[in-house]
Structure 1
Amino acid sequence: MVSLQEIIQLAQNIRLDNQPGDWKTVSKKHLINILNYIHFQSGTILINFKHLKYNNIISLQARPKPCLDDSFDCIWLRPKGLKLNAYEFLDIFLTEGEKLIRIKTDVMAIREEGIRFSLPDTCYELGHQRVKRYSCEGVQVDFIQNGTVFSGRLLDFGAVSFCVEVSTVPPQSFYWVNPECPVYIVFKDEQDTFYSGSCRITRQTDGQKTRSFILESIDKQMRRFKPKKYRSSRHKLIPSPNIIFLHPLTSKMINLEVEDLAGSGLSVKEYYYNSILLPGIIVPELFIEFADGFKLKCKAQVVYRNTARTKDSTMFVRCGIAFLDMDIHDQGRLSGILHHVANKKTYACNWVDLDALWKFFFETGFVYPGKYALMHNNKERFKETYEKLYIKNPGIARHFIYQSNGIIHGHISILRFYENTWLLHHHAASRSSDSMAGLVVLGQVERYINDFHRLYSTHMNYVICYFRPDNRFPHRVFGGVTESIHDPKGSSIDPFAYFHHHKNANQVEMSALWSLTKVQPEDLTELESFYEYTSGGLMIHALDLEQSMLDSDELSREYQRLGFKRERRLFSLKKEGILKAFIMLNISDTGLNMSDLTNCIHIIVLESEDVPRDALYSCLYKLSNYYEQEKIPILLYPVSYAEEQSIPYDKVYNLWILNMQYTDQYFEFMEGLFSRVQKDRFKNSANFG
């Protein structure tokens, strides 16, 4: 039942709007039932009187008594001091659910404690073709026009129009408000902003210090994010989930059926005259409830509202809602649902049979003899790490699997290893079973990235991958993307020489001219200048090597909270105080990356001709004590330095980086690539990572 405050607001709105619409009759029998229900609920009605001389209207609250026959009695809610000699009875307003009913009848008696009316044969349901407005409390309003900000409050709200009350503060004047020009409206409370948008003034009351304005939103849709050509895939689920949320403006609980659902948002349908969603409204807490009571929570915003009619001409609106943020675990759950709906053999962030996974890694050759030679001494630690990754499913890692009948045919995973950068790795596919498995899981991770990278909780501004240039598949994909985008700020590749340093290597003494010290802010500025000159790519930002990220350790604390290890130490190699090389130590759990690329040393040499090999080896000897393993992986940039100094290395790893602002260009290339290449060309593609 609608509250008394809503009755008052609805009555005022009808008079202010002066739009009766189509009136629907209500029978005496039905009216008696309504009045008795109001009495049962201890509700009230609104009785209106008009001044005999001045024509102003007053509205008095009264509580109806049980109604049995052709009359009904009401008790004044505030009887003291009530004088109605100068007024004539006008009408009565009451509500039935969301309907406003107006009663025109005769007064039989007025007493100090109450009033008696005759019961008419019919009355009218008003505003049957109006979109309802709901009363609001506690919502502050900024009413802005031409540089002037008026403050006020939201009286009532509807999806088509709403009423605000604003006040002037000297030297403000309502003459400053031009009713023919749009106003910019902000709805907020002490903590949050719920809506902002341009509106037109349709009506206003008179008043020198305070006025009420009826406003209509100008925009029927908005662009929350930069438009994308390659959008999230939408699915109709059976049974359909519902969204449940407390409306931020009316404080009413809303429950709507979901029309379709994607990783980036959803759409719902409302009956036109009861609609409550307006483009631009932000919902701080929205729950998506599935059939078994399972819920996902997000922050969301209404982005469009389209009006349509059913076959029987019933008006409805379809509203689109975009996700603004979602907990990383709920992202994984939603992704798992949608991926499985799209393809019954695909799974995202699911519990994994670890025995089947390890068997898959060995059978596909992802764990080849050379790699296992480096792993076998720590095999128990590998198992422990993977149990935490695939059973506990922490927010720092996402995995995607293609399997049928319990047999895994494809796998890929991503790991958040820098503050806003995820590492794509461990891509493998079976050569003997399903030739599409490798492509399917790559498509899965691409879809996850496309769905969620814009959400704060994802922390995904960049995606990186290490691959060998002689590996045909990643070279064709990542190298092809980089060449296609043709902008190093969109996609870049930087080659590193890869080798191992032995902790028990002979110590090499460093000359007194050289020093190895903790990196200073100005060193990172020098590093950025060098890298911009030699490459111009994305490595500095993606690997958190910009000066503003020097003391950032939030991710390391998150790893520790989840039971993982992640440390980062930055050093500068200087000669006579001048920076010659930069060294980054990443220290993490064994097996977090199977090639230990998350548990290695990155070296960037700024002046190749002035850094002798012995100076580098001396640094490695000192820094190797930070690691537990005997063989420490080294990534050395540029490769030309290793060649000039005759430093032996095992292979070259390309560091590929994609800026998430360029996802459309990435997907455009991938679409073209797979339309040109036959599927069997990738059947025996090599693994990477």
Structure 2
Amino acid sequence: MISLQEITQLAQNTNLDNQLEDWKKVSRKHLINILNYLNFQACTILINFKHLKYNNTLSLQARPLPCLGDSLNCLWVEPQGLKQKLNSYKFLDIFLTDGQRLIRIKTDVKAISEEGISFTLPEICYELGHRKVKRHACKGIQVDFIQNGALFRGYLLDFSAASFCVEVSAVPPQTFYWINPEYQVYIILKNGQDVLYSGKCRITRQTCGQKTRSFILEPLNHQTYRFKPKKYRSSRHKLTPSPNIIFRHPFTQEMVNLEVGDLAGSGLSVEEYQDDSILLPGMIIPELFIEFADGFKIKCMAQVVYRNTSRTRDDVMYVKCGMAFLDMDIQAQGRLSGILHHVANKMTYVCNWVDLDALWKFFFEAGFVYPGKYALIHTNKEKFKETYERLYIQNPNIARHFIYQSKGIIHGHISIIRFYENTWMIHHHAASRLSDSRAGLVVLNQVERYINDFHRLYSTRMNFVICYFRPDNRFPHRVFGGVTESMNDPKGSSIDPFAYFHYRKNSDRVEIPESCALVKAEPEDLVELESFYKYKSGGLMTHALDLEPGMLGSDELSKEYQRLGFQRERHLFSLKKDGILKAFIMVNVSDTGLNMSDLTNCIHVIVLDSDDLPYTILNSSLCMLSRYYEQDEVPVLLYPVSYTESQSIAYEKIYNLWVLNMQHTDQYFKFMEDLFSRTQKDRFKNSAGFG
């Protein structure tokens, strides 16, 4: 909106009448429509008077009443004492604006009173000028105005995508001399505690107020780097028909509806006419809806990250603005990625409704449920079926699945599950070896794309991705082992091998020696565990598995599982000898079949002192802890593997625990790009299956 200060300055311009030939004419009919719109929007106009003796200008705000003919009636905004005050003034003109255009009306006064004033509308009035970018009035947006350590507070008066006007106050001992108009300032715009914008600005103009002062500010940055830049960015798509974004503007509270240009899992772009643009780079939109053609909506939080000006073939100026998603709930993520994945490949699906009979048939035919695995699960097959019905029909927040299918036949599958507070586990990767040679790679690419799109959002809770795989499994060894070797940074990608075996429950009473104790873990135990692991491996395992002092007692995820009708318990124990930590034990209890190899329903043992912990003591501890499980045979993952060898412990297989730090996704995708060139894809086309 054009500010009161600017209109007042124009009203004092005695040369306006000599410039009429340069201005655009506005007919009475058009003027009446504008006046009625201003009345509808409860806006004001400015009525100017000139002093009879001193020639100074007095500008008063009035509200126009509905206008039906050639008369205009207005009510004063602040009527008290005006009639007497106006005895020293004569009427000059009227100014009104719709934010972009400023219209001047020269006419005669019909009547004036304490309550209001009436005019006869002329046949023609004039539009004084046309703003390149429309300004919009704002209410209730607080401003922090900072320069060289001085903080002034005030309010946002109006804004455009190119500049905005703020009014700030000087509170003693502050003076406005503290503000150097030649230096940039840092501006924070807030609604209560919610920051809506922050950035560096240039002062272009200011008023001369003593206690309060208005500043016209021009943002210096036309691009905001919300996240660390990535080389491997989300894939963007143009949908037909195009969705729209709908949101209430955070500064004006007006509803905005814009057509989406490009849409990706991480953001979108829109276009606006430059004259009417309302998207300011850096501005945060707390609640934005993406509306698709059938009325289906996805809600998110977004931020404007860039604004580029262009020109159409018809020489019309427009701007293209990009928005990054700052947050989106996990179900909305699934719906959006489902749409985008299906656009990219009509045979790919995300978190879709799955025919469970077809899925189980696929698992068996693809060899994912091989005879040895089925021997372990067949006694609990009904529980497996029940768990999978809840996972694939209810589609809970804790799990995501990705399907590659054609004509109703499933060819590939992979899923991820959030099993630690900020860690998701990739598992159940399976592909048909006969029907479609691409299936294994397609679903792996799907989960990679989902991770790349959404891992930076709070609702995803994804700081790490893990996967258990057997080193003799060629495909994951080349992928996860290869990326770890290529990255050569255990804080980016790490692998730790575990010995896997089953502990058979024993009904005999078992006790450990008096010198030993199996007790609940304390924070200092986790500190020692972290020091041991840093010395032994230096990888990411303790971070990814929430084995940090700050995570002790955290049960937010367990409560979420319970709310969704699933089971997740975690119990941490320290095995000590003469008060010294010898082994750390994590007991995870979950639904049968949540992971087919029961890697989410097992005991993790980390031995810190292999030389002074006989297996008989550890075995007694396992016997005591096996009471947490219903089954007779309890899976155990033991680290380091060298302990099993020194103690001659029989184990069934080795599982490598791979962990990827999400700060290093570019290195991961660079490796994958190099690994799966066309010839390499052919080499691995029939290989899939882990976890």
Residues 1:619 and 2:660 aligned together: no
1:217-255: CA deviations, max 9, x gaps? 110011001000000001111111111111111111111
Change over 3 Å in CA distance of 1:249–1:33 after alignment to 2: closer
CA distance in 1, matches of 2:685, 2:500: 28
CA distance in 2, matches of 1:77, 1:220: 38
1:109-164: CA deviations, max 9, x gaps? 44326545444342223442331111111111111001000011111111111111
SS of 2:193 mapped into structure 1: coil
1:432-485: CA deviations, max 9, x gaps? 111000000000000000000000110000000000000000000000000010
Superposition pairs of residues 155-174 of structure 1, within 5 angstroms: 155-174=157-176
Q: Which one-letter code corresponds to 2:47 in the other structure? A: I
Q: Is the 8 A contact 2:441 2:685 kept in 1?
A: no
**2:112 corresponds to:** 111
> RMSD over aligned Cα, in angstroms?
2.1
**2:455 corresponds to:** 453
Q: Is the 8 A contact 1:508 1:614 kept in 2?
A: no
CA distance in 2, matches of 1:247, 1:68: 35
CA distance in 2, matches of 1:412, 1:16: 67
**2:556 corresponds to:** 554
CA distance in 1, matches of 2:394, 2:42: 52
Superposition pairs of residues 415-426 of structure 1, within 5 angstroms: 415-426=417-428
Q: Is the 8 A contact 1:63 1:77 kept in 2?
A: no
Change over 3 Å in CA distance of 1:45–1:176 after alignment to 2: closer
**2:342 corresponds to:** 340
Unaligned 5+ segments in structure 1 are 1-5
Q: Is the 8 A contact 2:498 2:637 kept in 1?
A: yes
Change over 3 Å in CA distance of 1:474–1:507 after alignment to 2: farther
Residues 1:579 and 2:581 aligned together: yes
Q: Is the 8 A contact 2:429 2:688 kept in 1?
A: no
Residues 1:68 and 2:69 aligned together: yes
**2:263 corresponds to:** 261
SS of 2:616 mapped into structure 1: helix
Residues 1:25 and 2:25 aligned together: yes
**2:673 corresponds to:** 671
Residues 1:49 and 2:49 aligned together: yes
CA distance in 1, matches of 2:468, 2:75: 80
Change over 3 Å in CA distance of 1:531–1:497 after alignment to 2: same
The CA deviation at 1:613 is 1.5
Change over 3 Å in CA distance of 1:163–1:664 after alignment to 2: same
Residues 1:381 and 2:383 aligned together: yes
The CA deviation at 1:50 is 3.1
CA distance in 1, matches of 2:568, 2:661: 24
CA distance in 1, matches of 2:678, 2:389: 40
Q: Is the 8 A contact 1:63 1:76 kept in 2?
A: no
**1:102 corresponds to:** 103
Q: Is the 8 A contact 2:402 2:413 kept in 1?
A: yes
Q: Which one-letter code corresponds to 1:104 in the other structure? A: I
Aligned identity (percent) is: 72
CA distance in 1, matches of 2:340, 2:548: 37
The CA deviation at 1:27 is 2.0
SS of 1:528 mapped into structure 2: helix
Q: Which moved more, 1:491-500 or 1:24-33?
A: 24-33
Superposition pairs of residues 360-509 of structure 1, within 5 angstroms: 360-504=362-506, 509=511
Q: Which one-letter code corresponds to 2:28 in the other structure? A: K
CA distance in 2, matches of 1:262, 1:334: 9
Change over 3 Å in CA distance of 1:250–1:35 after alignment to 2: closer
Change over 3 Å in CA distance of 1:314–1:17 after alignment to 2: farther
1:658-679: CA deviations, max 9, x gaps? 0000000000000000116433
CA distance in 1, matches of 2:399, 2:42: 55
Q: Pick one of 240, 243, 246 that aligns with 2:245.
A: 243
CA distance in 1, matches of 2:310, 2:87: 51
Q: Is the 8 A contact 1:152 1:166 kept in 2?
A: yes
Q: Is the 8 A contact 1:489 1:659 kept in 2?
A: yes
1:82-102: CA deviations, max 9, x gaps? 232322333212346x55342
**1:291 corresponds to:** 293
The CA deviation at 1:15 is 5.0
Residues 1:306 and 2:289 aligned together: no
Q: Is the 8 A contact 1:35 1:67 kept in 2?
A: no
CA distance in 2, matches of 1:366, 1:175: 75
Change over 3 Å in CA distance of 1:57–1:368 after alignment to 2: same
1:295-347: CA deviations, max 9, x gaps? 11111111111111111111111111111111111111111111111110000
Q: Which moved more, 1:676-685 or 1:216-225?
A: 676-685
Q: Which moved more, 1:338-347 or 1:105-114?
A: 105-114
Change over 3 Å in CA distance of 1:37–1:520 after alignment to 2: closer
CA distance in 1, matches of 2:557, 2:10: 55
Q: Pick one of 209, 212, 220 that aligns with 2:214.
A: 212
1:577-601: CA deviations, max 9, x gaps? 1111111100000000000000000
SS of 1:678 mapped into structure 2: helix
The CA deviation at 1:368 is 0.5
CA distance in 1, matches of 2:10, 2:679: 63
Q: Which one-letter code corresponds to 1:685 in the other structure? A: S
The CA deviation at 1:77 is 5.8
**1:3 corresponds to:** none
CA distance in 1, matches of 2:109, 2:522: 90
Q: Is the 8 A contact 1:232 1:264 kept in 2?
A: yes
Q: Is the 8 A contact 1:303 1:322 kept in 2?
A: yes
CA distance in 2, matches of 1:257, 1:17: 37
Change over 3 Å in CA distance of 1:381–1:581 after alignment to 2: same
TM-score by length of 2: 0.95
Change over 3 Å in CA distance of 1:42–1:225 after alignment to 2: closer
**2:592 corresponds to:** 590
**1:58 corresponds to:** 59
Unaligned 5+ segments in structure 2 are none
The CA deviation at 1:36 is 5.7
Change over 3 Å in CA distance of 1:47–1:375 after alignment to 2: same
1:369-393: CA deviations, max 9, x gaps? 1111110111111011001100100
The CA deviation at 1:510 is 2.2
1:512-561: CA deviations, max 9, x gaps? 22211111111111111111001000001000001110111100000000
CA distance in 2, matches of 1:605, 1:455: 35
Change over 3 Å in CA distance of 1:598–1:79 after alignment to 2: closer
CA distance in 2, matches of 1:65, 1:652: 82
The CA deviation at 1:43 is 6.6
**2:572 corresponds to:** 570
Change over 3 Å in CA distance of 1:198–1:554 after alignment to 2: same
CA distance in 1, matches of 2:384, 2:33: 72
CA distance in 1, matches of 2:27, 2:67: 17
CA distance in 2, matches of 1:601, 1:537: 20
CA distance in 2, matches of 1:622, 1:318: 64
TM-score by length of 1: 0.95
The CA deviation at 1:12 is 3.5
Q: Is the 8 A contact 1:105 1:117 kept in 2?
A: no
Q: Which one-letter code corresponds to 2:485 in the other structure? A: E
Q: Is the 8 A contact 1:494 1:654 kept in 2?
A: yes
Q: Which one-letter code corresponds to 2:527 in the other structure? A: T
